[in-house]
A and B are shown apart, each in its own frame.
Chain A
Amino acid sequence: DQQVKQNSPSLSVQEGRISILNCDYTNSMFDYFLWYKKYPAEGPTFLISISSIKDKNEDGRFTVFLNKSAKHLSLHIVPSQPGDSAVYFCAASPKDDAGNMLTFGGGTRLMVKP
């Protein structure tokens, strides 16, 4: 049973518009959440994170929102650019963990059309 789920395998967005990627989790012990971006033939790269004590974290065009009661987080990209086209993974880590035990979702492929 997947503890972290990304229910949309793919998303297509027009350049300049907002991209919203969603992620749901089931484990209430998860305390820290991250988004990774992956280009083909490369390893994932860290994008943005949020602790469970916050409900929003912003970094330039990227904002992550956390709704703990709904066990849901989302990544907003505004404005979307063609270079944002990649696979995005959300990941979660439990409280008091050293950070090694990341549980990943299945990924969402984002395509930003010029």
Chain B
Amino acid sequence: NAGVTQTPKFQVLKTGQSMTLQCAQDMNHEYMSWYRQDPGMGLRLIHYSVGAGITDQGEVPNGYNVSRSTTEDFPLRLLSAAPSQTSVYFCASSGGMLLYEQYFGPGTRLTVT
């Protein structure tokens, strides 16, 4: 049982490039979320999904796209990277009786130059 996995661990992009951050969970959780962590800002919600085929925007969605074609996977796409998207990105999932208690992946550290 791997929990929540994220790839890659580190990534450097040039401004304007696009990429996809991968997230997968093996706990059969219906809920999945993407957060970014910036110094002093805590974690801010980017997008979330309450089940396969259903996604919605969080607090800071601009510049990011998501899709949820399966229960297990929830990729985050950066359409045209900007230096303001330099951050650490965390994927999380929750489900069953403990919906509020989200399980987080180890994070992806992204630098945009």
Residues of A with Cβ closer than 8 Å to B? 4, 6, 9, 32, 34, 36, 41-46, 49, 89, 91, 93, 98-107
A28: min CB distance to chain B, Å: 18
Residues of B with Cβ closer than 8 Å to A? 4, 31, 33, 35, 40-45, 48-50, 58-59, 90, 92, 94, 99-107
- Tell me the dominant secondary structure on chain B's binding face: strand
A-B contact count (CB 8 A): 67
* Neighbouring B residues of A98 by C-beta, 8 Å: 31, 50, 99
* Neighbouring A residues of B40 by C-beta, 8 Å: 9, 106-107
Determine if B106 and A99 form an interchain contact, defined as CB atoms under 8 angstroms apart.
no
* Neighbouring A residues of B41 by C-beta, 8 Å: 106
Determine if A104 and B31 form an interchain contact, defined as CB atoms under 8 angstroms apart.
no
